Copies of this chain bind each other. A is one copy, B any other.
Amino acid sequence: MTDTLNGFMEKHKGILDKELKNRISKLDTPSVLKEAMAYSLEAGGKRIRPLLLFAVIDSFGKNPDSGLSTAAALEMIHTYSLIHDDLPSMDNDDLRRGKPTNHRVFGEAMAILAGDGLLTYSFQLIAEDQHLQAAQKVELLQLLSKCAGPEGMVGGQVADMEGENKKLGIDELEYIHTHKTGKLLTFSVLAGAIIGGADSKQREYLEQFSHHLGLSFQISDDILDVTGDEELIGKPVGSDTGRHKSTYPSVLTLKGAKEHLSRHIEEAKKALDHTHLNTEVLSQITDLIAYRTH
């Protein structure tokens, strides 16, 4: 990791973590709910989505303050999706990032409610933001609800469930991932474009960028499930193949999956070049996501 990227990440993670803590602590709600929400928010996530958002805003030369509520909302929605995915009736996971999952600590009912609370609160954060104009808020809320809801993440999660124990082709697999993981990454990038004030061309290229980045993210996730270090990834290696989930390596072989990954990264970076923005940090974050070790 370069010094520039390192500095960028440390600074923005610091701002975000402070904001998340602050937003939960000031909630007027039963303390056990705050604890359950905070537990998963503070369970060591890599903050990839907020960092992406901040990197896009940065490429427009804008101040991170303008994106802070949206970054916090993004991390909350991502966290809610993990809490619900881990539930006994869903993936039934005991560990997440090496720590007991939310329902293992707070019980299933509270985990469902902590997820519901995080999802709903995330819309409140954007709607109440002081730095954005009404039209920007509406555009952000429109896009976020679409990317997170039935036509986005929730739809992808359903398709994933339906596809379990079935042999899926590469197209079906890409459909699942563009929705389950991709849409929220797309939102991270396009929210940055809305807040940064992108023109229509820039926005189009950033959309292409986010599409390839989203797929890269999922392919590298699947590769890690085969090659990763259990202690680093925080869940048993091979846990996806063990449950008969189709993965990129199982469909394309490990070598094929790695080639597929390289192609998407290349396309992602090409799209960035077309924006004529200062995308150095954004490009480095792309490599970080694609070639991460956990």
Contacts and interface: CB of A to CB of B under 8 A. Distances in A.
A238 interface: no
Given A89-B109, A89-B112, A113-B157, A29 B137 contact: no
A120 B119 contact: yes
A112 to B, nearest CB: 6
A130 to B, nearest CB: 12
A113 B154 contact: yes
A74 interface: no
A145 B162 contact: no
A199 interface: no
A248 interface: no
A32 B162 contact: yes
Contacts of A1: none
A151 B108 contact: no
A154 B110 CA distance: 10
Contact of A28 (B121, B127, B151): B151
Interface in A64-96: 84, 87, 89-90
A120 B141 contact: no
A120 B154 contact: yes
A280 interface: no
A124 B138 contact: no
Interface string A130-163: 0000110110011011101111001101110110
A158 to B, nearest CB: 5
A141 B140 CA distance: 12
Contacts of A134: 134-135, 137-138
Contacts of A150: 27, 29, 33-34, 37, 117, 120-121
A158 B33 contact: yes
A142 B207 CA distance: 28
Given A27-B150, A119-B119, A124-B145, 10 more contacts: A29-B151, A33-B154, A34-B150, A37-B150, A120-B148, A121-B145, A124-B149, A127-B138, A134-B138, A137-B141
